[in-house]
Structure 1
Amino acid sequence: MLYLKEKELLPFMVPDALSASTHPLASVAPQTTPEQAWALAPLIAGEPSLRFGRWIGSRFQYPRPTHRAKITRRLPERAAAVMIHGADGRVATLCLDLDTSKALKEVVDADALRLGKLLQECGLAFIEDFSPSGGRHLYVPLRERLDGPAARELVEALALRSTSLDPSPHQNLSDGCIRVPGSRHKSGGYQTLITPLSVAYDYLRRRNPPLAVLALKAALAPELKRLQARKARQAKTASAQRTSAGLSLPPNAGGDSPLRRIARTGLYDTSRYKSPSEARMAVLNHFAACGWTREQVENELNGQFPGLAALYNSANKQKRLLALEWTKAQTYVSAAKPKTPASRSREQIALINNTSPTKLTGGAHTSSRRAIHQLVNDLENIVYAVLDHRLQARGREGLSLRLLMRGLLGYMRAKETDVLDVGCRTLAAAMGKHHVTIARLLPVLAKESDGIVTKIADARRKAADIYLVQLPEHFKQLARELTWRKGRVHAIRPVFRALGDSAALVYEAIERGRYSPTTADLVRLTGISRNATTKVLAEMEAMGMVRRTGRQWRTTSISLSGLAVRLGVLEEYQAQVSRNRRDRAAWHAYLDRFVDRTLEEIDMFDPDREDHWIPPDDESIWYAA
């Protein structure tokens, strides 16, 4: 690889011509011939060798040859790809392959624009070409070669932001290869260079400095953390599979909905949907059934669901049809909830022993909406002033108990009642924990809350345990003396399902503090150790959630929901909600076995019958959202 002399290495500045590489294909320099573009091949490749492609069965592949072919100045007469990794496993160029087999061409073009903007913001120069099939390649030359695993991690993180990006060339150290500008295509034609040849040659000679690569890593901090969490889960699953021979994960075990995959890629099963309009309506029906609004759908068309926008073919058609189709989707969802025969029959039957709680007739006193909100504000003061400090002594369990208490206050404010009949699975989905953990924590919280949380009724049939949340008499004077805090109380917002309980409490202390706290203030306020506090602060600062001004910490205006999408926690949340739905269905089906039956003497006691419900094994049953 050729480099400039040491004295000629100046701080790398991205020229104005860089933005031209992401313009429409009409800006391709007509004077760049395939032979001229092929001259860039040795500057892109990780080693000076190539492979020739051929059809093997129904797939076009680049098999490993008996003898390596060297890259020469002459353009190969058949399809060829250069090797990405060198003999030492390192790469000289990040090769981003945007493939139309993974998403529609409109999604590929949108991903190319989005990736180009990201690279440009990080100070990285890149070269771009396109193939006759509509795919795009982005090449990011590196001044210092990257180890194969580090390059793979970066490309996989970029793939989480771009649906059409295929990371497989960087996932194979021995066989990873890519077609470069000028090379022939399997279907005829050539890889056409979009970046002007002189500019591309300049980028490949000067290359990108390590500081720009570090800037890209910082911009991809949420995606890199998501990859680490995924690898940890895969390692845990592999370990479980080794210890349990019968445990295996079915396809689509990650909770990836087929309809949401259509919304991301625009690709759909033609045997199920005959046209793009049918696929669009299926996706819109899905979002309407999930409680989305039209504004939320429109916001995500340029975000995580570009495939849905691509199914409209044009912006004008999207603007004209989206409102009409969304109205149809809402009408369909509202009408597509017929009562099952079993539910209709249950409505006509009055149970002999009705164990449901008696409803008030209007004579009893009920708290007003304003009184409930005032009660929650007073309880927040007691939680911050007394209960948090009491629960700090319980260590890690205390963190979960403190957040569970905040979750109950959040439900009080949302339901505007001090009597809560929220099930463990609902609380578990809100807090990102297992429902067994919530079932274990609730009695502990009721015991440690000093009368704030009291259980007043046990679960019965389809009804959950009922808890009364109140302000005890001995706390009323303290609650009146303390001023209310700004903002809303939260249990676990989706982003903290990935960052952890400690991060949630530290962020809350910054967000709802009466002043901008220092690190020492956060340690004192949250009761979390200094090492743990420093660690979560550094992690949140890397993701742009908080910033440090002098010694004080402040929150930023970053969207926590958008960050949660990038971290992938919404997929986990959808899988947990779907699993809870299936669990409830199984439990209700079990209860229905004892309804609509004539009571006989043998039914009063049967020693061979299971009188308790055995919950399904969460480790071996997976549900798609």
Structure 2
Amino acid sequence: MSFVEDFSPNGGRHLYVPLQDRMDAAEARELVEALALMATSLDPSPHQNITDGCIRVPGSVHKSGGHQTLITPLSQAYGILRRRNPRHAVIELRTALAPELARKRALKAREAKAVATQRTGGLQALSLRIGSEAPLRRAARTGLYDTARYKSPSEARMAVLNHFSACGWSIQDIQNELAGQFPGLAALYGDPERQGRLLPYEWAKAQVFTGSKAPQKPLPRRDREKSALINNTSPPLPTGGAGNRTSAGVHQLVNDLENILYAVLDHRLQTRGREGLSLRLLMRGLLGYMRAKETDILDVGCRTLAASMGKHHVTIARLLPVLVQASDGILTKIADARHKAADVYLIQLPEHYQQLAKELSWRKGKIHAVRPVFRALGDPAALVYEAIERGRHCLTTAAIARTAGISRNASSAALAAMEDLGMIARDGRTWKTTTVNLRTLADRLGVLDDYLEHISRNRHERAVWHAFLDRFLKDRIDETSFFDPEVEEHWIRPDEQMHLWHAA
């Protein structure tokens, strides 16, 4: 898209995008507000109303002295203003800004819901924060930080890097966004030379602090090598009994369970409507945690599962017993929650499914619950994307609806939404995934902020619950309180007393 650029004496810049076709005020405002979400220094106010917001054209006198100066060469600017941008250039711009447009529509829907709730007197029940942004994200975007908490820019940027490391970012992602949506983090370094020297070092420290670096695997023990416990509180080493699964055994079990999930369980849960969608994704989340933890016994709490699925923890607590009954022996609850520990579940392959699991071939790829981007697109879109991503061959729209187990209308709507965002593309009559980064797309949609807020809320609620439990430990009677060391309380049997008397 062609544009003309000028700058003012105070350092501001103007970009002029001439169009061949007229554009109404609502469409112009929508595009400019979407651009403002991507470029935080952009002022959208000149296009947010139809009566005010005029700007100085090149050559105009500036109020602080001097004139607006044209940057684009005069002959080139004349050609751009004479030919102007065609309609397809605007369509390409809207396609590039599809995540920001969707995010802006979601924010406006929130604001409308908040206003409606306030007018109906339900403001106290409203727990949704409008336009929420994590403080560390704000510091990375603007370079402003809480001086009462961080004494220097060094501490502030280390907190920002720790935050990104805990969120699973890489140093390449950080470097790409320093000149994009997080220029404030670059400003905290002062100059590019200092940034290039300190960023790799501080990022390594952040990874160590957050535990993002994969720990070094211990060397295998030699045969007949004995290991002594350091003290009496050290956990005993596993003896290799039948109940201990190896890492490879757990991954093989998950592969078999995935086959049963796709071949049998998904079809049974399709009849449960919207609840069935949540149950299917919950089962995928449990299998994902099973593979990550490399164990068939899970004690993952409802709040952790809720954060990974984008739902409320009360909904997860309601769905888990339903999934136990509907899983046909795959998921079994073996222990109730006690104190700070969550419910314990056993995931196994029932005997009546073992032969079927052997006959089916494994599928490549990871299994996911609900990735952050689908918190904005919905559960049907997650299942449709999974059907395309993990399909053994490219699928048509009808085949995707059958594979995903959702209706044709819901499948078509999900495909259209993901195509607008560039997540998938048509290849003739079939669909295929693109190379778009889902994490970056989720960030552009504003979903990561909601995800981080969900995690922060979970941490606060856990802290409150643990504090409530710990208050009962203050009055706990210690074992030594039952005995008085100055009093002899040993009871001697009568026959021993007679023996002592005779001996005396």
- Taking structure 2 as the reference length, the TM-score comes to 0.83
Code of the residue aligned with 1:222 in structure 2: it is P
Code of the residue aligned with 2:405 in structure 1: it is G
Query: 364-373 or 273-282, which moves further after superposition?
Result: 273-282
In the alignment, does 2:443 pair up with 1:545? no
Match among 580, 583, 595 for residue 473 of structure 2: 595
Aligned to 1:215: 92
Q: How do residues 265-284 of structure 1 correspond to structure 2 at under 5 angstroms? A: 265-268=142-145, 276-277=153-154, 279-284=156-161
CA 1:213 to 1:514, structure 2 compared with 1: closer, same or farther past 3 Å?
Answer: same
CA RMSD of aligned residues (A): 2.7
CA 1:475 to 1:332, structure 2 compared with 1: closer, same or farther past 3 Å?
Answer: closer
Structure 2 CA distance for aligned equivalents of residues 365 and 581 of structure 1: 33
In the alignment, does 2:247 pair up with 1:388? no
Structure 2 CA distance for aligned equivalents of residues 270 and 138 of structure 1: 35
Given that 1:254 and 1:575 are in contact with CA atoms closer than 8 Å, whether structure 2 keeps it comes out as: no
In the alignment, does 2:281 pair up with 1:403? yes
Q: How do residues 127-146 of structure 1 correspond to structure 2 at under 5 angstroms? A: 127-146=4-23
Match among 440, 448, 454 for residue 326 of structure 2: 448
Code of the residue aligned with 2:342 in structure 1: it is A
Match among 404, 407, 425 for residue 529 of structure 1: 407
Given that 1:266 and 1:310 are in contact with CA atoms closer than 8 Å, whether structure 2 keeps it comes out as: yes
Q: How do residues 364-379 of structure 1 correspond to structure 2 at under 5 angstroms? A: 365-379=243-257
1:407-436 superposed Cα distances (whole Å, 9 cap, x missing partner): 010000000011111011101111111111
Given that 2:254 and 2:287 are in contact with CA atoms closer than 8 Å, whether structure 1 keeps it comes out as: yes
CA 1:366 to 1:301, structure 2 compared with 1: closer, same or farther past 3 Å?
Answer: same
CA positional deviation for 1:290: 5.6
Structure 1 CA distance for aligned equivalents of residues 177 and 425 of structure 2: 27
Structure 2 CA distance for aligned equivalents of residues 466 and 292 of structure 1: 31
Aligned to 1:554: 432
CA positional deviation for 1:380: 0.4
Structure 2 CA distance for aligned equivalents of residues 275 and 185 of structure 1: 37
Q: What fraction of aligned residue pairs are identical, expressed as a percent? A: 69
Code of the residue aligned with 2:339 in structure 1: it is R
Query: 129-138 or 316-325, which moves further after superposition?
Result: 316-325
In the alignment, does 2:377 pair up with 1:482? no
Structure 2 CA distance for aligned equivalents of residues 408 and 158 of structure 1: 39
Structure 1 CA distance for aligned equivalents of residues 115 and 36 of structure 2: 24
Given that 1:241 and 1:248 are in contact with CA atoms closer than 8 Å, whether structure 2 keeps it comes out as: no
1:63-83 superposed Cα distances (whole Å, 9 cap, x missing partner): xxxxxxxxxxxxxxxxxxxxx
Structure 1 CA distance for aligned equivalents of residues 243 and 122 of structure 2: 59
Structure 1 CA distance for aligned equivalents of residues 67 and 128 of structure 2: 37
Given that 2:134 and 2:453 are in contact with CA atoms closer than 8 Å, whether structure 1 keeps it comes out as: no
1:143 is paired with a residue whose SS is: coil
CA 1:241 to 1:133, structure 2 compared with 1: closer, same or farther past 3 Å?
Answer: same
Aligned to 2:449: 571
Q: Structure 2: 5+ residue runs without aligned partners?
A: 212-234, 479-504
Structure 1 CA distance for aligned equivalents of residues 334 and 295 of structure 2: 15
CA 1:249 to 1:302, structure 2 compared with 1: closer, same or farther past 3 Å?
Answer: farther
CA positional deviation for 1:596: 1.4
Query: 561-570 or 248-257, which moves further after superposition?
Result: 248-257
CA 1:541 to 1:375, structure 2 compared with 1: closer, same or farther past 3 Å?
Answer: same
CA positional deviation for 1:201: 2.8
Aligned to 1:203: 80
Code of the residue aligned with 1:315 in structure 2: it is P
Aligned to 1:97: none
Q: Structure 1: 5+ residue runs without aligned partners?
A: 1-123, 335-357, 601-625
- Taking structure 1 as the reference length, the TM-score comes to 0.68
Aligned to 1:182: 59
Higher strand share: 1
1:227 is paired with a residue whose SS is: helix
Aligned to 1:434: 312
Structure 2 CA distance for aligned equivalents of residues 190 and 280 of structure 1: 38
Aligned to 1:238: 115
Structure 2 CA distance for aligned equivalents of residues 252 and 537 of structure 1: 30
Structure 2 CA distance for aligned equivalents of residues 221 and 169 of structure 1: 22
CA 1:473 to 1:271, structure 2 compared with 1: closer, same or farther past 3 Å?
Answer: closer
Aligned to 2:369: 491
